[in-house]
Amino acid sequence: MPDGASQVLDVRDLNTVFRTRNGEVHAVNHVSFSLKKGELLGVVGESGSGKSVTMMSLIGLLPSPPAEVRQGQVLFDGRDLLQTDADTLRDIRGARIGFVFQDPMTSLNPVFTVGFQLREPLKRHMGMSKRAANKRAVELLELVGIPDAAQRLKDYPHQFSGGMRQRVMIAIALACDPEVLIADEPTTALDVTIQAQILELVKELRQKLGMAIIWITHDLGVIAGIADRVLVMYGGQVVEQAPVREVFKNPQHPYTKALLETIPHVRGERAERLQVIEGQPPMLGDAPTACPFRTRCPQAFERCARENPARATISPGHDVACFLAGSESADA
């Protein structure tokens, strides 16, 4: 990527392995990407494609054992997060890199008030007194659009609805003004109208606060609405990376194309069946030596089973890991 100076996060050749009783699982293989200041990077892929594991590896949130980050560099603020000691990493987590998780129902501690959970990072990272933290907590709840914020601080998570809890989660993630917000399928567990509200909120907050966001999802519709750039993942690898318009207009990787075809159309003939990608995602038992998508790829040929295609740039800001990309894809 050009313009290296404005990158907040630069991930190079990340490999994460889970050691299980039945051998190793190579969940993340040679993943590289970067995140620019203020950018919203969408990460898509089906379940088990390594989206969440990649992001958790960055910041040491995976339980180890069984997880083990084998190789790679994660450059943040001039240091490699993978080489950083646990204490410094804790200072970064929650303060400079915020997280929002998938299920707001279980992500908040049920026995502590929302206020307590919001004040925690403020006291820990900003050294605030209880009173100052309380004031800031009210501001944060107002920021994420929770009415009657001062009162609601005294409430417990079960007294909030799902959408409200996700707003609280976002408030916690934003508590210390992070430079990067990692949102791991934050709207998947919510119903559609709430999902739209949360998306609106994130768009708005991004403009206000100017942080970079990594948004993990398997919903391409969401991506189309908010992302600047898209990372498509499959089998623990990045198979395509492009600006959001490029992905929808000119998808190169067969998997990206297949994903786009599976989006159901609201208009059009009603009798049409939903499109699916045939087959199952690969078991990641061994380090990949071939293209992970070859068994489900309509255009697979003999070379795909022999070697794993590397990502190659086909136009500025657009790279693809497929042998067919660029050359024959123009007519495909």
Partner 1 sequence: MLNYTLRRLMFSIPVLLFISFIIFLILDLAPSDPTGNLPLTIPPEVREKIRESLGLGQPMPVRYYKWCVQFFVNEPLNIWDQYWGTCSFGCEDRLRVVSYVTRSPVVDLIVQRMPQTLWVVGMSYVVGILIAIPIGVISAYKQYSWFDQTGTFVSMVGFSVPPFFSGVLVIIIFSVQLGWFPSIYDTTLKVVSWDTFMLQVRQMVMPVMVLALQTTAQISRFMRASMLDNLNQDYVRTARAKGMKESVVLLVHVLRNSLIPVITVIALGIPAVFGGAIITEQVFKVNGIGQLLIIGIQGGDAPLVQTLTFIFAVMIVMANLVADIMYGILDPRIRYD
Binding site for partner 1 (CB under 8 A): 59, 61, 90-95, 98-99, 101, 103, 106-113, 120-121, 124-125, 156, 158, 169, 172-173
Q: How far is the CB of 163 from partner 1 (least distance, A)?
A: 17
Q: How far is the CB of 190 from partner 1 (least distance, A)?
A: 15
Q: How far is the CB of 68 from partner 1 (least distance, A)?
A: 17
Instruction: Give the whole-angstrom CA distance, residue 202 versus residue 227.
Output: 11
Q: How far is the CB of 298 from partner 1 (least distance, A)?
A: 38
Nearer to partner 1, 90 or 206 (CB): 90
Instruction: Give the whole-angstrom CA distance, residue 170 versus residue 2.
Output: 31
Q: Residue 129: how many CB atoms within 10 A of its CB?
A: 11
Q: How far is the CB of 86 from partner 1 (least distance, A)?
A: 8
Q: Residue 75: how many CB atoms within 10 A of its CB?
A: 16
Nearer to partner 1, 176 or 321 (CB): 176
- Asked if 228 and 243 count as a contact pair (C-beta separation under 8 A), the reply is yes
Instruction: Give 10's contacts (C-beta < 8 A, 6+ positions apart).
Output: 4, 34, 35, 73, 74, 75, 76
Nearer to partner 1, 76 or 101 (CB): 101
Q: How far is the CB of 232 from partner 1 (least distance, A)?
A: 25
Q: How far is the CB of 118 from partner 1 (least distance, A)?
A: 10
Nearer to partner 1, 2 or 65 (CB): 65
Nearer to partner 1, 61 or 258 (CB): 61
- Asked if 40 and 215 count as a contact pair (C-beta separation under 8 A), the reply is yes
Nearer to partner 1, 158 or 265 (CB): 158
Instruction: Give the whole-angstrom CA distance, residue 83 versus residue 100.
Output: 24
Q: In what order do the strands lie in the sheet with 212-216?
A: 97-100, 180-184, 212-216, 40-44, 229-234, 237-243, 318-320, 312-315
Tell how far CA 42 is from the center of its chain.
7
Q: Scan for tokens 């919510």, then name that residue.
A: 190
Nearer to partner 1, 52 or 237 (CB): 52
